[in-house]
Chain A
Amino acid sequence: MKQLDYLDELEAEAIHILREVAGQFEKPALLFSGGKDSITLVRLAEKAFRPGKFPFPLVHIDTGHNFEETIIYRDNMIKRIGEKLIVGYVQDDIDNGRVVEQKGKNASRNQLQTVTLLNTIAKHQFDACIGGARRDEEKARAKERIFSVRDEFGQWDPKRQRPELWNIYNGKIHKGENVRVFPISNWTELDVWNYIRREKIELPTIYFAHERDVITRNGQLMAASPFLNMDDEDVVERRNVRFRTVGDMTCTAAVESYAFEIDNIIDEISASRVSERGARMDDKVSEAAMEDRKKGGYF
């Protein structure tokens, strides 16, 4: 029998997983960051459920330190697809004292969003949260299941994961627990880009090369913004850059780039010798940084 092309196979697997979520859970949600991976998930959800409505809302955890382009993109997309969006604001949790803003030069709200995510899950009683994480991103992710059970504190226990056999996903949970679901677990960064090109999916403009004020910190290019604590040592320069991931402005580094079109980006990534999480300051803290954050309920 003819084997499917790899993009068709990855797509079919992801659609199957999304439909399993719809079939097995009472109150699922799709975590939408505005990044290319969650945008890909939206496209896959259209393939899984159209012409019906999505059987889940989109949920955005808003750190308040957003790239403006991402928010514009998000709102336009919601209008186009006609689905429900729920926003959880980190600022709300800072205001009500649930979390305390970090201080110092490298202060970021990246850590704080875990609390807002868990609060949002609890408030809406979501039993499954679909996310765009991929196993090729990071070592701890490589060991995560497609259906990954979190306890009532949102914790991931790598030693107590359920065996996941064939294409059968066990979504049974106790009250208070929830499942994180990763439909594009088996995709690589390059697969996502090739899929975006094939499907002609529109992306926020910051993924493409543009001129921007940046400062260099710890060898990384950071977007100059009011959210970044800057001092006299920081020199602002105008450079041609693009972003490979879209996170909080304070922890997402840019790369120097002249890739104005998606074809250029795919060429650039194919040739690149730095993995995409290399541009994330949050993973550099320690070798086990991601593992520790995931145990604490991080996405």
Chain B
Amino acid sequence: MNILKFLTAGSVDDGKSTLIGRLLYDSGAILVDQLEALQRSNRKNDDGTIDLAILTDGLKAEREQGITIDVAYKYFQTDKRKFIIADTPGHIQYTRNMVTGASNAGLAIILIDARKGVIEQTIRHSFLVALLGLPQVVVCVNKMDMVDYDEAVFNKIVSDYKVLAAKVGLKNVAYIPVSALKGDNIVHSSERMSWFKGSSLLPYLETVEIPTDNLTEHARFPVQWVVRPQTEELHDYRGYAGRVSSGSFRVNDKVTVLPSGFTSTISKIELLDSEPEAALSGMSVTIHLEDEIDISRGDTLVSAKNKPHVSQLIEADLCWMDTKPLDTTHTYFLQHNSKLTRCRIQEILYKVNINTLEQEFDEDFKLNDIGRIVVKTADPLAFDLYQDNKANGGAILIDSRTNVTVGALMFRANAD
């Protein structure tokens, strides 16, 4: 059994919380005491049924304002799969939360209100999902009950969305007409939409194969920690601890250490008492090399046959996440996997108006702004382009004055 992490994009008005509540409720993921808390609450739908949206908005501040202010994670499982939902709000001021949720997801559900069709918000969400490189999208046309379950309404939205998908560059898109409120096509197929021959949402999520990038050759291992017991019996022990971010490593593989460029051969792979032959993508292990080389946290072991870029000047997409605008004269910290260095944003090439997708030229880079920049780093970075290898192509910016994460970078080209 594996885990599918997915993101839900839409606003309160689209019935997003109701959709998640419905998935949890109909799949039996709500436990008795949570249900009791739900019933104690006095929020009800117009017809007196429980308002399932309450299941997702956790904080007092949110309940008072009736909005979702942050990314909330929800967990449920069926016999076929485990699911982690990143529930992110759809209000314009919360682009940063959606980017955060999307950075870890394998699939996005984009909600469209059947009465409204493709609107500005849909463009925004679709652009962000494409920017973050999510491999699979499901468009849920919700509130079908409000349009008499009309097939023509659904078909019109599908054809409108196809135009948008092509424009932002989304390849794998599925479409499902649903009513989260009434439960149509969420867990069970809807009799009221017998014209729809596709799968309901949950069965779809259970079985969809998430397209993975073919990264077998892109073996990358950012070193997090050097294990050196320095005891008498383990005097010469030196293991490099980290997590394989992409590709795989095997004993006897030739590896290059970046940024130094030294090469060596893997002599052993360890995980506590076991010695696996191979470390696959996603595994946390300790790697030993035949040669004694100076390696520390922040260095990356890579396949000697397929090396990433090494450079101090990189063109990247930037999403700004702080209320204080970007200051191109300020030195920020840049964190790329286990590597921390200083950097400056040397040039703003353009910004993207995420409602119209047009490029704009503007000196200000404010909260929720997205655009293309050139970053210069103090130390060389061993990176891949985000579109080729997400796991080694993203970085965060930290304001050295406040220590807050202020930006997300997706590397797009080596500018050196």
Give every chain B residue within 8 A of A168 (Cβ-Cβ): 335-337, 394-396
A47: Cβ under 8 A from any B Cβ: yes
Closest to A140 in B: B58
Give every chain A residue within 8 A of B234 (Cβ-Cβ): 51
Give every chain B residue within 8 A of A163 (Cβ-Cβ): 96-97, 99-100, 321, 396, 405, 408
Take A9-B2, A19-B241, A170-B403 as given contacts and tell me if A47 and B100 are in contact as well, using a CB distance cutoff of 8 Å: no
Take A165-B99, A166-B391, A287-B41 as given contacts and tell me if A51 and B227 are in contact as well, using a CB distance cutoff of 8 Å: yes
Asked if A135 and B75 sit within 8 Å, CB to CB, the answer is: yes
Take A16-B284, A188-B75 as given contacts and tell me if A170 and B33 are in contact as well, using a CB distance cutoff of 8 Å: no
Of A53, A159, A172, the residue contacting B333 (CB under 8 A) is: A172
Q: What is the interface size of chain A, counting residues whose CB is below 8 A from a CB of the partner?
A: 61
- The contact size tier of chain B is 35 or more
Interface set, chain A 23-59, CB cutoff 8 A to B: 23, 46-53, 55
Bound together, the chains give a CA A107 to CA B353 distance in angstroms of 57
Give, as a whole number of angstroms, the nearest-CB distance from B23 to chain A: 15
Stretch of B64-72, B117-125, B191-199 contacting A (4+ beta carbons < 8 Å):
B64-72
Bound together, the chains give a CA A161 to CA B211 distance in angstroms of 32
B390: Cβ under 8 A from any A Cβ: yes
Give, as a whole number of angstroms, the nearest-CB distance from A269 to chain B: 11
Asked if A170 and B31 sit within 8 Å, CB to CB, the answer is: no
Take A46-B272, A52-B229, A168-B337 as given contacts and tell me if A159 and B282 are in contact as well, using a CB distance cutoff of 8 Å: no
Bound together, the chains give a CA A288 to CA B288 distance in angstroms of 49
Bound together, the chains give a CA A130 to CA B299 distance in angstroms of 25
Take A9-B3, A16-B284, A163-B408 as given contacts and tell me if A275 and B33 are in contact as well, using a CB distance cutoff of 8 Å: yes
Asked if B403 and A275 sit within 8 Å, CB to CB, the answer is: no
Given A12-B243, A278-B31; 16 other pairs, CB 8 A cutoff: A4-B282, A9-B3, A11-B284, A12-B283, A52-B229, A143-B71, A162-B405, A164-B100, A165-B394, A165-B408, A168-B335, A168-B396, A172-B403, A274-B32, A275-B34, A287-B40
Q: List 6 A-B contacts (CB under 8 A).
A: A49-B227, A161-B70, A163-B97, A167-B104, A168-B395, A275-B34
Instruction: Name A's B-contacting residues (CB within 8 A).
Output: 1-6, 8-13, 15-16, 19-20, 22-23, 46-53, 55, 135-136, 139-140, 142-143, 158-159, 161-168, 170, 172-174, 185-186, 188, 190, 272-275, 277-278, 287-288, 291-292
The 5 closest A-B pairs by CB, nearest first: A139-B58, A278-B33, A15-B284, A275-B31, A172-B403
